[in-house]
């Protein structure tokens, strides 16, 4: 008989870690592409967005650990609060960096077309 609890835990962990690794990989790839663009508007925008993606990847990784601990029953309320306080800044800072980097890049590109 299949243990649904373990299957559910594996599904949560697998999807969370795949998401975390994908975002961290995307950030690293974007940071490396930065060098190929040289010193330009797109280079600075890619660098900022890549840093934001790395922050979000770290937040997803913390979220994956928290999800695993909740499903496995290893978590207590104090640890939940600590993990929430640890992952929330990563999501907020990452999103802020991506939005500001995109906005600045868009504004610079728009000023070139005028």
- 37: tokens are 């663009």
The Cα–Cα gap between 104 and 99 comes to: 9
92-106: average pLDDT: 88
The Cα–Cα gap between 42 and 35 comes to: 10
- Quick one: which of 22, 15, 4 has its CA closest to 67? 15
pLDDT for 34 equals: 53
pLDDT band at 94 (very low <50, low <70, confident <90, very high): very high
Model confidence, pTM: 0.75
The Cα–Cα gap between 83 and 16 comes to: 15
pLDDT tens digit string along 17-67?
Answer: 788 888 888 877 777 765 555 456 677 777 888 888 889 988 888 888 887
């Amino acid at each position: 008989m299949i243990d649904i609890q373990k299957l559910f835990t594996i599904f949560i962990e697998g999807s969370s870690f795949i998401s975390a690794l994908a975002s961290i990989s995307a950030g690293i790839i974007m940071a490396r592409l930065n060098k190929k663009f040289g010193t330009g508007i797109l280079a600075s925008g890619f660098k900022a967005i890549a840093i934001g993606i790395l922050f979000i990847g770290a937040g997803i990784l913390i979220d994956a650990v928290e999800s695993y601990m909740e499903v496995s029953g290893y978590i207590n309320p104090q640890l939940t609060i600590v993990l929430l306080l640890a992952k929330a800044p990563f999501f907020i800072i990452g999103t802020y960096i991506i939005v500001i980097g995109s906005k600045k890049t868009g504004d610079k590109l728009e000023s070139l077309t005028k």
